[in-house]
């Protein structure tokens, strides 16, 4: 029997388990099991060939007990409403675990960005923002980059929303170019936050970080930045993969060489992979089964499943992607004494620095990269210690502990607001 990989049902199960462990009031789960608000829109875009194409977009706002909704904007041909809802729920917990004054949001457009010209991508972005404009704003819902979107797309978001408002409104979106209100360090924030908690976990487990063998799945923004940051911290990147293949070298790969070669496998040779002296061509499945100290899924959801989790040999599994481990995969991982840094903790660096950007926008006062990283380290290490302490107190795994930390924050806020009585 195949696994149920519906992300929305996964998120609901994670919330229910944490509520049960904390013995929360039934109302806590009833409120958190569904997004508070969901919008589905359809909008026309004129394509380069003169035709009109209709696109579908979504925006989900899960819970605003702690503050306005916050979360990414993705362009994906497989994007669904359930996926969007689940991602908004995970965003709620990321913010709560790190102690941010945010609820969870997520959105995007069902499209294949590889098939869009730059002009078409801009038109899709602007049309989507016009369609969801009544639901977003600095005090309501603040989008950010996600899969297949970047700083340029966020610049278009800010510009289109500002046109609708009639004045510059930098705080409506984060992840923008620095010249128009973006924050120093935002591009590397998800990777940096993940690296900080990986290093903290290695210390806690007595793993020597210098020379630690690391395998990374995914070589997009998070994955490529992870490899260079970890390399600079003294770790050894022994394997990387992306959607088209991967490389393994027992003595370590130089991530700067891979980045220089146009983000790993994008600069093709006849063999379909870049030429890296002494490296072996590998698949994702080989990477997951590799003997290593730290395995980092940094691509997309549902990668470590009931079918392959038994092959994982890492000491630490650090989830830089959203939802990379399925419930069945997670149950197997728990039996293998693998220390998990769950996605709602390990990938929270992006939303943390997005919060810093939003604060800077509201104040019109901007920080240096050093200030940003110093504050990020304080937030991420405090969150890691809090989750670790809960895992020890309740004798639960780190994923359960992370959700328990988030649930406690949300339950306290909802109680204080009178939502539970």
CA distance 90 to 86: 6
CA distance 365 to 383: 26
Residue 110 DSSP symbol = E
Query: CA end-to-end span of the chain, whole Å?
Result: 42
Which residues have CB under 8 Å from 118's CB, separation 6+?
none
Residue 39: how many other CB atoms lie within 10 Å: 17
Give the start-end residues of each E strand in 331-419: 339-341
Q: Is the dihedral of CA 16, 22, 27, 28 positive or negative?
A: negative
Give which of 382, 362, 350 is closest to 187, Cα–Cα. Answer: 350
Give the start-end residues of each E strand in 77-140: 103-110
CA distance 105 to 144: 10
Q: Is 106 a catalytic residue?
A: yes
Q: Is the dihedral of CA 147, 320, 107, 151 positive or negative?
A: negative
CA distance 317 to 293: 9
Estimate to the nearest angstrom the gap between the alpha carbon of 140 and the chain centroid. Answer: 21
Residue 171 DSSP symbol = G
- How crowded is the C-beta side of 276, counted as CA atoms within 13 Å? 30
Selecting among 70, 106, 121, 176, the annotated active-site residue is 106
Local structure of 417: helix, strand or coil: coil
Residue 131 DSSP symbol = H
- CA 173 → CA 14, 93, 96, 151, distances in Å? 29, 20, 19, 10
CA distance 258 to 255: 5
**Tokens 């604060």 label which residue?**
359
* Catalytically active residues, by annotation: 106
């Amino acid at each position: 029997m195949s696994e149920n990989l519906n992300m929305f049902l996964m998120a609901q199960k994670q919330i229910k388990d944490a509520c049960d462990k904390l013995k929360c009031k039934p109302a806590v789960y009833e409120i958190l099991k569904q997004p508070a608000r969901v919008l589905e829109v359809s909008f026309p875009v004129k394509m380069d060939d003169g035709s009109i194409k209709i696109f579908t977009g979504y925006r989900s706002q899960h819970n605003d007990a702690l503050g306005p909704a916050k979360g990414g904007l993705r362009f994906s041909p497989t994007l669904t409403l359930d996926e969007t809802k689940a991602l908004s729920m995970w965003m709620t917990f990321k913010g709560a675990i790190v102690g941010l004054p945010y609820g969870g949001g997520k959105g995007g457009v069902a499209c294949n960005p590889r098939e869009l010209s730059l002009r078409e991508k801009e038109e899709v972005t602007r049309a989507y923002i016009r369609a969801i404009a009544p639901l977003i704003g600095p005090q309501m819902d603040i989008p950010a980059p996600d899969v297949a979107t970047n700083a340029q797309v966020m610049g278009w978001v800010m510009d289109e929303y500002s046109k609708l408002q009639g004045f510059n409104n930098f705080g409506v979106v984060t992840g923008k170019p620095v010249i128009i209100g973006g924050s120093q360090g935002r591009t590397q924030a998800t990777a940096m936050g993940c690296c900080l908690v990986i290093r903290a976990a290695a210390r806690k487990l007595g793993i020597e970080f210098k020379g630690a063998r690391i395998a990374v799945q995914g070589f997009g923004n998070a994955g490529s930045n992870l490899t260079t940051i970890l390399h600079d911290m003294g770790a050894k990147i022994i394997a990387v993969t992306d959607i088209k293949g991967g490389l393994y070298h027992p003595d370590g790969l130089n991530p700067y060489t891979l980045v220089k070669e146009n983000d790993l496998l994008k600069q093709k040779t006849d063999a379909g992979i870049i030429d890296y002296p002494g490296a072996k061509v590998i698949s994702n499945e080989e990477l997951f089964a590799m003997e290593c100290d730290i395995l980092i899924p940094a691509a997309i959801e549902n990668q470590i499943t009931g079918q392959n989790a038994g092959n994982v040999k890492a000491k630490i599994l650090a989830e830089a992607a959203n939802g990379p481990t399925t419930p069945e995969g997670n149950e197997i991982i728990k039996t293998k004494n693998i220390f998990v840094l769950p996605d709602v903790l390990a990938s929270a660096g992006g939303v943390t620095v997005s919060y810093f950007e939003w604060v800077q926008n509201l104040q019109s006062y901007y920080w240096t990269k050093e200030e940003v990283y110093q504050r990020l380290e304080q937030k991420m290490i405090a969150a890691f210690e809090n989750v670790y302490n809960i895992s020890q107190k309740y004798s639960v795994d780190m994923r359960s502990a992370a959700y328990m930390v988030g649930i406690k924050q949300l339950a306290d806020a909802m109680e204080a607001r009178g939502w539970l009585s």
